């Protein structure tokens, strides 16, 4: 699996809730490859956020392994996990989560300052480039409070991309936006995906699902269907994710149709 950025094997996540245990994820196997534009779909409470949190290394699985870019996250210290998030992951949050006291430019620059790899001139150039890509050059020195929701999410996208992460994770990135703005944000992410950024996001918005190249459907903490699954994988659960199918999104789509017959939900969404 040379291209796998994310690999989950037999992942469970339990939340102890008083006397009972909420089983938020159960036996999740998943593999995400470079260049994908994948949607985790499913109803509220199905475990999408939990899954993204595990992949984003902000939470740990109860059982199973989560491998990010070749590193088994269970074996990493808190410090190394933080470093991994800084260098390999980008985050886009439902509520944008910008630092209120910093302007757009400074918010985007933040991960670069944390990385300490680039000098001031290189940082400025990188941030300017991203501001341009997300169409906010004119708003560089506005603070989040002076920006609209869509503009804030653009800043957040630029912040997620500025460190050139291996994968960008977005938990319901359009949930707090009106539908027109949401569509614009999605278009932006798609365009960025075409230039090479890998995206993984969760949503329960069908219009978002329509645009995905690959859809992973969650129900009750399990993967109910995965549009990337090959027919072979479907008959042989041991190899739930086919490496062949995962090589490129196009290949995944091409091999999908027969398997999709068994999964009406997946079939309608592709």
Partner 1 sequence: MGMLFRMATRNLGVHKIRTSLLGTAIALVTALLALLSGLFTGMQTTMLRTATTLMTGHVNVAGFYKPTSGTVAPVVTKAAALRAFVEKKTPGVKLIVTRGRGWGKVVSDKSSQQAALVGIDIGAEVGFRDVVQVKTGSLEGLREPHSCVIFQSTAKRLEVKVGDTVTLSAPTFRGVNNTVDVKIVAIGGDLGMFSGFNVYVPEATIRELYQLDPLTVGAIQLYVNEPDRAEEIAATLRADIEKAGWRVLPPVSQPFWRKFDTVKREDWTGQKIDVTTWTDEMQFMKWTLATVGTLITIIVGVLLVIISVGMMNALSMAIRERTREIGTLRAIGMQRGGILGLFVLEAALLGLGATIVGVVLAIGTAALVNGIGVGVGEDFQMFVMRETLWLEMDGGTVALSVGVIAAATIVASLGPAWRASRLPPVVAMQSAK
Ligand X SMILES: Nc1ncnc2c1ncn2[C@@H]1O[C@H](COP(=O)(O)OP(=O)(O)O)[C@@H](O)[C@H]1O
The site for ligand X (CB under 6 A) is made up of 15, 17, 22, 24, 42, 44-50
- Torsions phi, psi of 5, nearest 5? -90, -40
Distance CA 223, CA 243 (A): 17
Asked whether position 171 contacts partner 1 by CB under 8 A, the answer is yes
Contact pattern from residue 75 through residue 114 relative to partner 1, giving x for each residue in contact according to CB under 8 A and a dash for the rest: ---xx--xx-xxx--xx-xxx-x-xxxx---x--xxx-xx
Tell whether residue 36 is a contact of partner 1 (CB under 8 A): no
Pick the stretch among 20-28, 43-51, 135-143, 144-152 that binds Mg ion (CB under 5 A). 43-51
Q: Does 2 bind partner 1 (CB under 8 A)?
A: no
The candidate with the shortest Cα–Cα distance to 98, out of 107, 90, 111, 109, is 107
Contact between 49 and Mg ion per CB under 5 A: yes
Structure tokens, 30:
């998943």
CB of 206 to Mg ion, least distance (A): 16
- Residues forming the site for Mg ion (CB under 5 A): 49
- Residues forming the site for partner 1 (CB under 8 A): 49, 53, 56, 58-59, 78-79, 82-83, 85-87, 90-91, 93-95, 97, 99-102, 106, 109-111, 113-115, 159-160, 163, 171, 176
């Amino acid at each position: 699996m040379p291209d796998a950025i994310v690999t989950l094997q037999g992942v469970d996540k339990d939340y102890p809730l008083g006397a009972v245990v909420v089983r938020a994820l159960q036996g999740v196997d998943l593999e995400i490859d470079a260049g994908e534009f994948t949607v985790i779909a499913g109803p509220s409470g199905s475990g999408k956020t939990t899954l993204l949190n595990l992949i984003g290394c902000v939470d740990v699985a109860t059982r199973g392994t989560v491998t990010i870019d070749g590193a088994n996250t269970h074996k990493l210290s808190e410090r190394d996990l933080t470093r991994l998030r800084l260098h390999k992951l980008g985050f886009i949050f439902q509520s944008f989560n910008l630092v209120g006291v910093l302007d757009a430019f400074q918010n985007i620059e933040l991960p670069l300052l944390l990385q300490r790899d680039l000098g001031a001139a290189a940082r400025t150039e990188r941030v300017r480039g991203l501001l341009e890509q997300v169409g906010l050059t004119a708003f560089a020195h506005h603070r989040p409070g002076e920006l609209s929701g869509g503009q804030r999410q653009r800043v957040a996208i630029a912040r997620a991309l500025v460190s050139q992460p291996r994968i960008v994770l977005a938990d319901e990135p359009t949930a707090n936006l009106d539908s027109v703005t949401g569509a614009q944000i999605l278009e932006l992410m798609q365009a960025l995906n075409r230039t090479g950024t890998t995206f993984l996001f969760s949503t329960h918005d069908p219009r978002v699902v329509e645009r995905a190249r690959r859809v992973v459907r969650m129900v009750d903490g399990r993967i109910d269907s995965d549009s990337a699954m090959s027919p072979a994988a479907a008959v042989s659960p041991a190899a739930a994710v086919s490496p062949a199918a995962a090589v490129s999104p196009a290949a995944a789509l091409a091999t999908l149709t027969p398997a999709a017959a068994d999964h009406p939900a997946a079939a309608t969404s592709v």
